[in-house]
């Protein structure tokens, strides 16, 4: 069975601090995809990144970076120099299955990030 665990329910930081959101996944598939989405108070899920299981290179996009480690089944997300606008719920998600795509996303329970000014 596929499962995504985001153990951190809530994180509160002060602006300009760095923060890492943890994501641990379970799957028996050899081909799978991992995603991060941001859900601000407005409710719309905003896509941040997609990573496939064959690409373990870390990625950096501005203040955002992602660390994918297959050995520990983790796909962690770091925000550097956090800003108030980063306040949102962040979801990690997994898809996979025979051939690599079941066409549905399995989401974790999300981490609420509150950035205080």
Partner 1 sequence: DTGVSQDPRHKITKRGQNVTFRCDPISEHNRLYWYRQTLGQGPEFLTYFQNEAQLEKSRLLSDRFSAERPKGSFSTLEIQRTEQGDSAMYLCASSPTGTSGGYQETQYFGPGTRLLVL
Which residues here bind partner 1, judged by CB under 8 A?
4, 31, 33, 35, 37, 42-47, 50, 52, 91, 93, 95-96, 98-110
Q: What gap in Å lies between CA 61 and CA 65, rounded to an integer?
A: 6
Q: What gap in Å lies between CA 11 and CA 116, rounded to an integer?
A: 11
Rounded to the nearest whole angstrom, what is the least distance from the CB of residue 81 to partner 1 in the complex?
26
Nearest to 113 by CA among 3, 37, 26: 37
Pick between residue 35 and residue 66 the one whose CB is nearest to partner 1. 35
Q: What gap in Å lies between CA 1 and CA 26, rounded to an integer?
A: 7
Rounded to the nearest whole angstrom, what is the least distance from the CB of residue 79 to partner 1 in the complex?
19
Pick between residue 82 and residue 95 the one whose CB is nearest to partner 1. 95
């Amino acid at each position: 069975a596929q499962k995504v665990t985001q153990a951190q329910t809530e994180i509160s930081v002060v602006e300009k601090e760095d923060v890492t959101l943890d994501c641990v996944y379970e799957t028996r598939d050899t081909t799978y995809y991992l995603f991060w989405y941001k859900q601000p108070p407005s409710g719309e899920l905003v896509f941040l990144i997609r990573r496939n299981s064959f690409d373990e290179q870390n990625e950096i996009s501005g203040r955002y970076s992602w660390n994918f480690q297959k050995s520990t089944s983790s796909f962690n997300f770091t925000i550097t120099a956090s800003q108030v606008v980063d306040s949102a719920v962040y979801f990690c998600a997994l898809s996979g299955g025979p051939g690599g795509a079941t066409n549905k996303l399995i989401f974790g329970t999300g981490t609420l990030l509150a950035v205080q000014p």
